[in-house]
Structure 1
């Protein structure tokens, strides 16, 4: 197995990996927060200006495109509207980043220990490790993801006055299961997404590192992260939309910025309902801004991770001298 192909998982201790992953998550979240809010608003919208539903007396704001949504939020809610849900999101990205990279390296080392002739090829190793890491990190941090979505879905009228109030309200009116609405869609999405992402990244990174063509963004790590993320995100996007629709179910559903969010129950039935009523367009609503978000987010995440790991390794070396 080539050392260059598995460089990501061969560097640093578990503690260093966790710290570098957490730092990467925090920096990435700060950069893409406004795009994340725009994406969520578009995903929760069940109609657009050109859809028949918009002329059937359906109330609520109508967004059209990324720029239109951006202008609407700035006009109606101000600049801070683009960072709604940022506090639980920062906690989400902090925890998710550390858990994801830790689980990835741990699983990779377990698979590397498999003796020949049963040892898996590198792409399969990366796919399984990435999928496992994504499933573990998604499940453990899902309540924060749900809170992020609910706060991002709030318009000028505040549904929850604070994070503490939202936790109390969900626990009281929806029970423990309320914090995990849409988890099935989240895991169903993240397993193939992270598997494809890490497998693509590990394959692309050594190829781009040796490319004679100068890389944009200044590093092959960032470019590999961008390409891997775009490919993976597009493949699983309908499940991401399903997850967002399920996360805002509950007694407060009619109070979000979109007053006409339908009632959904279950991953399969939600997918079928969206397809039946809104068609393919509904399944992929917000994909453009999602890809715009995924590219810089993945580039920043992987670049920051590599830089943070390099700093931690350098500090360790200095400490040993």
Structure 2
């Protein structure tokens, strides 16, 4: 069995190795999909009232996305596509590491339970539970960075915060510590089924895709793409709710689309208001871009994680051998 094949076992590797591999995967993934992330967030914050069809500058076709991209480039320059990149890099770095570490630890706990109770937990259920635990832990720990990423990405030509330090200071002063966790219930409600389904689909697709040879390696990337598309589509409305709650507060009217956006309170209240004023389509704004983003993001994340873990383990084995 090759070193890479060994590394694909979710219980293999030390905690440090898993932590480093997950961190590398998060960093690489974030850098690649940053422009799509900005476009998705802007689309989700775009308010469109059913009573006023002219309340949004964008159409309902893919041309609307292209129009938005041209507007960002024209008024904010190429750097506009990387707004919020500093907190986002921190988010993806810490989220990737925390997610894979929690996933590995949860699987170890479940396997220990199986041995102690002499029971067999079906693989799909085990993957779902471990993925849900991993997603909840990673989301909660890194949520302030997620909120900062959203607020910076939602800044148009008008600056809301002078910089990262200033944003932390202003949110703390004007909104208190709770301000960093606006929309967290929606985030957890989204991530539990999303990550649970993602890992369950991924573990199910990986054996099927193992024999598929692609230019960039094995079928790990294909399994990641398929799993992400299915899981994200199922929970996307909660992602839209989370984004709109994240820009609430004293600076709400200064963000993209914020001038016409109503005040939202709570997950249920936000869903109800969006459906009432914008229709069910309002909950799925940006889904197309999200799915396009999900494919390379998940492919890069899982592909990089598997290979980074294999490389780290290989270096460790050589180091032990040389000693």
CA contact (8 A) 1:6 1:122 kept: no
Q: Which residue of 2 aligns with 1:317?
A: 317
Match of 1:157 in 2: 158
Question: Match of 1:267?
Answer: 267
- The answer to whether residue 116 in structure 2 is matched with residue 121 in structure 1 is no
Task: Tell me what 1:239 maps to.
Answer: 238
Q: Is the 1:63–1:72 contact (alpha carbons within 8 Å) kept by the matching residues of 2?
A: no
- Asked if 1:137 is matched to 2:138, the reply is yes
Q: Which moved more, 1:214-223 or 1:285-294?
A: 214-223
Equivalent runs, 1:96-245 vs 2, <5 Å: 96-114=95-113, 115=115, 117-211=118-212, 214-215=213-214, 217-245=216-244
| TM-aligned CA deviation for residue 79 of structure 1 | 0.4
What residue in structure 2 maps to residue 288 of structure 1?
288
Partner residue of 1:68?
Answer: 67
- Distance between the aligned counterparts of 1:215 and 1:268, measured in 2? 43
Q: Which deviations, in whole Å up to 9, do the C-alpha atoms of 1:71-91 show, x marking residues without a partner?
A: 111111110000000000000
**Structure 1 CA distance for aligned equivalents of residues 291 and 262 of structure 2:** 25
Q: Distance in 2 between matches of 1:52 and 1:223?
A: 42
- Supply the distance in 1 between the matched residues of 2:9 and 2:262 (Cα, whole angstroms): 43
Deviation at 1:216, TM superposition (A): 6.3
Q: Deviations over 1:41-75 (max 9, x none)?
A: 00000128xx65243xx5xx723432221111111
Secondary structure at 1:47 match in 2: coil
Q: Retained in 1: the 8 A contact 2:6–2:12?
A: no
Using the alignment, how far apart are the partners of 1:286 and 1:301 within structure 2?
A: 21
The farther-off stretch of 259-268 and 223-232 is 259-268
Deviation at 1:141, TM superposition (A): 0.3
Q: Which runs of 5+ in 1 are unaligned?
A: none
Aligned length: 310
Measured in 2, the distance between the counterparts of 1:101 and 1:218 equals 21
User: Contact 1:189–1:240 (CA<8 Å) still a contact in 2?
Assistant: yes
User: What is the Cα deviation at residue 118 of structure 1?
Assistant: 2.6
Counterpart Cα distance in 1 of 2:256 and 2:209 = 43
Report the Cα offset of residue 215 of structure 1.
3.9
Deviation at 1:117, TM superposition (A): 4.5
CA distance in 2, matches of 1:126, 1:41: 33
Which region of structure 1 is more displaced relative to structure 2, 67-76 or 262-271?
Answer: 67-76
CA deviations 1:97-126 (Å, max 9, x no partner) are 100000000000110112354331111111
RMSD: 1.7
Q: Do the aligned partners of 2:186 and 2:239 also contact (CA within 8 Å) in 1? A: yes
Deviates more, 1:115-124 or 1:307-316: 115-124
Q: Bigger CA drift: 25-34 or 110-119?
A: 110-119
Find the residue that maps to 2:146 and give its secondary structure: helix
CA contact (8 A) 1:5 1:122 kept: no
> Are the aligned partners of 2:147 and 2:246 in contact in 1 as well (CA < 8 Å)?
yes
